[in-house]
Amino acid sequence: MRILLTNDDGILAPGMAILARSVARWIEEAPSGRTHEALIVAPHQNYSGMSAAVGDVFDRPTVKYRRHRIAGAESIVAYGLEAPPALCAILGALGSFDFQPDVLVSGINAGANVGRSVLHSGTVGAVLTGAQLGLSGLAVSVQWGENVHYDTAAAVAVEVLDELLHAPSRTLLNLNVPNLPVEELRGVRRGRISNAGIVKAAGPRAGGEALSDEGELPLRLGAATPELGDVSDEDVDEDGALLVAGYASLTPIRGPHEDEDPALLGLMDKALQAITRHLERSR
Alpha carbons 6 and 47: distance in angstroms, whole number = 12
Share above pLDDT 90 across residues of the chain, in percent, rounded to a whole number: 71
Q: Tally DSSP H helices, then E strands, for the chain.
A: 7, 11
- Chain segment 42-88, per-residue pLDDT in tens: 999 999 989 999 988 888 889 999 999 999 999 999 999 999 999 99
- Chain segment 67-78, per-residue pLDDT in tens: 999 999 999 999
Nearest one of 36, 121, 122 to 83, comparing CA atoms = 122
CB contact set of 236 (below 8 Å; sequence gap of 6+): 242, 245
Structural domains in the chain, CATH included, are 2-192+233-253 (3.40.1210.10)
Nearest one of 152, 159, 119 to 138, comparing CA atoms = 159
Amino acid type, 181? P
Alpha carbons 191 and 99: distance in angstroms, whole number = 33
Per-residue 3-state assignment (H helix, E strand, C coil) for 152-206: HHHHHHHHHHHHHCCCCCCCEEEEEECCCCHHHCCCEEECECCCCCCEEEECCCH
Residue 205: per-residue pLDDT: 61
More confidently predicted of 207 and 119 = 119
Alpha carbons 42 and 183: distance in angstroms, whole number = 30
Quick one: average pLDDT of 259-282? 91
Give the SS3 label for residue 101. Answer: coil
Q: Are 7 and 107 in contact (CB under 8 A)?
A: yes
Q: What is the pLDDT confidence band of residue 13, given thresholds at 50, 70 and 90? A: very high
- Chain segment 150-196, per-residue pLDDT in tens: 999 999 999 999 999 889 999 999 999 999 999 999 999 999 999 88
Q: What is the b/e burial string over 28-64, where b = at least 16 CB atoms within 10 angstroms of the residue's CB?
A: eeeeeeeebebbbbbbbeebbebbbebeeeeeeeeee
Q: Are 81 and 65 in contact (CB under 8 A)?
A: yes
Element (H, E) at 86: helix 85-93
Residue 268: per-residue pLDDT: 92
Q: Is the pLDDT of residue 271 over 80?
A: yes
Q: What is the pLDDT confidence band of residue 213, given thresholds at 50, 70 and 90? A: confident
Q: Is the pLDDT of residue 198 over 90?
A: no
In eight-state DSSP terms, residue 13 is S
Share above pLDDT 70 across residues of the chain, in percent, rounded to a whole number: 96
Pairing of strands 188-190, 77-81: unpaired
Residue 207: per-residue pLDDT: 60
Peptide bond into 108 cis (omega under 30): yes
